[in-house]
């Protein structure tokens, strides 16, 4: 639904703010206007809103409003009413805000991206989805499709607030980075220095150290929601074997190409023997069925935890699944421990420290998810049951994992966050051409560290990339001329009960001359949030980013 406000209604809404706070019906009656019916606040169309705004403005100023053309007779029948502006459709695919002038330049990208989102939404059966895109630091498109609240037919809009799930990890990284820059946090000493409540660990009888740096990149060995160590290890071994098989096949094909495609019976026999051996190993080592995250009981905790230290009891006494630093094991609980480290290193409560960061970044709608507060524009969250019927998700309390997956936000706030990170990453490149640039929220060297892929890690939402420090990063790569060119980008996805999300940053490819007469941030930022779980959004966000990058180049 487009929003239309005339100057008259705007002045009427802003006039005498105290009066609105003292009761809108009282003001209306004192202005001697006709009585208001039930549900008047939310039920006005654009025409009624304009008509009431004109009358109310005149009543509050003590002067009669200018009569509109063909003013209706109060005694006349409804058919004699003056012509009104047509009400805007509340169709779930209608854009929620007027299209800014800048978006005309990106009309083709918006059209193609909207079509893509419709396809994704229909494919997965998501009730609602919201997207936001910025180009070079300016928001050029934000729109909601579908419903934020299916039962009450509340359409999604850019201001819709949803769970951002694991994008919370990227937010927590900013807190850790600020403390590290201030010299209050050492990333490479054992976590017990800050949180002695977390017991020292052993792995296979050997004493090992868990550090903040290892926790950030999911290399600590601390478990995720799956508690069965055997199942996790079997799955890891199976994936490693499968990857080794694919690598061997690729190497063999490469050797054949280098030899001009020539082969002989001996090579063919050896290849067949290797394939047979690998298949046999695969059959013997294929893991048993492991529950996915949404089948794990801990994801649906209803207990409220007062602080991060208290949340540690969920996992602090569990054994490490791997030796720290040896293998990647994605762990939201690792970020619960990081929240405790933030508290001890900063001397503030984790949420207080995060709210200061949100204030600095102008992320005014980003808050921790709690059930009690009234949070304007908060969506409801959905899932399909066993009968494939859309149902509300069960109540959950995310206080045990605010740092790793417990914040609410909007696409607009996520765009601000992405651009702040992109500015910090690029500002060092522009300093020589523009000395008046403000510093980034994080230093360039800090952002380079955060967006540098870490060895032994995985990026589950894009196999081409690696996990860095609370971000997944894909590096620039092109193997063959006039063929696929892999762009450098950073992103993080999120999956929570009844919610999916992604934040993706596609930096502009800059060289020495490209910084002249330009200021950071330079690049595309895309954020998508959805009130349905298990919706993969990273590839969609990347396609949208490339659409806008193409329009920008043209």
Active site residues: 166
> Which DSSP string corresponds to 14-60?
HS-HHHHHT-HHHHHHHTTPPPP-TTHHHH--HHHHHHHHHHHHHHH
Report the alpha-carbon angle 162-167-173, nearest 5: 135
Helix (H, G, I), strand (E, B) or coil at 134: strand
Residues 6 or more apart from 181 whose CB is under 8 A from it?
442, 443, 446
Q: How many residues does the chain have?
A: 554
Cα distance between residue 442 and residue 431, in whole Å: 15
Give the DSSP H/E element, type plus range, for residue 203.
strand 201-203
Cα distance between residue 324 and residue 334, in whole Å: 12
Under 8 Å between Cβ of 172 and 335: yes
Helix runs in 160-201, H state only: 167-181
Cα distance between residue 428 and residue 12, in whole Å: 48
- Kindly give the interhelix angle for 107-124 and 538-553, rounded to the nearest 10 degrees: 170
Under 8 Å between Cβ of 327 and 240: no
What is residue 365's DSSP assignment?
T
């Amino acid at each position: 639904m487009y929003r239309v406000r005339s100057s008259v209604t705007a002045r009427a809404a802003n006039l005498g703010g105290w009066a609105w706070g003292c009761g809108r019906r009282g003001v209306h009656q004192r202005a001697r206007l006709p009585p208001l019916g039930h549900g008047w606040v939310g039920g006005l169309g654009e025409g009624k809103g304009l008509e009431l705004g004109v009358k109310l403005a005149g009543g509050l100023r003590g002067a009669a409003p200018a009569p509109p053309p063909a003013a209706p007779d109060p005694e006349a029948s409804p058919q004699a009413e003056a012509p009104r502006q047509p009400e805007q459709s509340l169709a779930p695919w209608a854009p929620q805000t007027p299209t800014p002038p800048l978006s005309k330049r990106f009309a083709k990208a918006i059209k193609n991206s909207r079509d893509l989102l419709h396809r994704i939404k229909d494919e997965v059966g998501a009730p609602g989805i919201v997207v936001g895109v910025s180009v070079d630091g300016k928001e050029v498109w934000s729109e909601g499709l579908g419903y934020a609240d299916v039962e009450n037919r509340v359409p999604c809009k850019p201001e819709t607030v949803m769970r951002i799930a694991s994008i919370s990890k990227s937010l927590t990284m900013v807190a850790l980075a600020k403390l590290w820059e201030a010299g209050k946090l050492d990333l490479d000493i054992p976590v017990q220095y800050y949180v002695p409540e977390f017991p020292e660990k052993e792995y296979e009888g050997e004493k090992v150290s868990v550090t903040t740096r290892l926790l950030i990149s999911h290399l600590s060995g601390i478990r995720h929601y799956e508690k069965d160590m055997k199942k996790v290890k079997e799955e890891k071994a199976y994936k490693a074997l499968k990857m080794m098989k694919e690598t061997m096949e690729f190497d063999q094909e490469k050797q054949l190409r280098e030899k001009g495609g020539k082969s002989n019976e001996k090579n063919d026999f050896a290849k067949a023997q290797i394939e047979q051996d690998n298949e046999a190993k695969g059959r013997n080592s294929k893991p048993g069925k492991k529950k996915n995250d949404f089948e794990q009981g801990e994801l649906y905790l209803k207990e409220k935890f007062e602080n991060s230290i208290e949340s540690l009891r969920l996992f602090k006494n569990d054994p490490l699944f791997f030796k720290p630093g040896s293998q990647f094991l994605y762990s939201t609980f690792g970020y619960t421990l990081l929240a405790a480290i933030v508290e001890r290193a900063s001397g503030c409560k984790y949420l207080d420290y995060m709210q200061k960061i949100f204030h600095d970044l102008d992320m005014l709608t980003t808050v921790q998810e709690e059930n009690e507060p009234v949070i304007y524009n908060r969506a409801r969250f959905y899932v399909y049951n066993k009968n494939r019927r859309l149902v509300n998700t069960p109540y959950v309390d995310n206080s045990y994992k605010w740092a790793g997956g417990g914040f609410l936000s909007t696409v607009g706030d996520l765009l601000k966050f992405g651009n702040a990170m992109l500015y910090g990453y690029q500002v060092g490149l522009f300093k020589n051409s523009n000395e008046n640039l403000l510093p980034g929220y994080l230093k360039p060297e800090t952002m380079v560290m955060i967006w540098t892929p870490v060895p032994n890690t995985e990026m589950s939402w894009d196999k081409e990339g690696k996990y860095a420090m609370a971000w997944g990063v894909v590096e620039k790569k092109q193997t063959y001329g006039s063929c696929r060119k892999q762009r450098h980008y950073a992103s993080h996805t999120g999956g929570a009960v009844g919610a999916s999300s992604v934040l993706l940053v596609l930096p502009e490819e800059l060289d020495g001359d490209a910084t002249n007469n330009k200021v950071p941030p330079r690049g595309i930022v895309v954020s998508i949030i959805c009130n349905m779980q298990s919706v993969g959004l990273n590839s969609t966000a990347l396609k949208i980013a490339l659409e806008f990058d193409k329009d920008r180049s043209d």
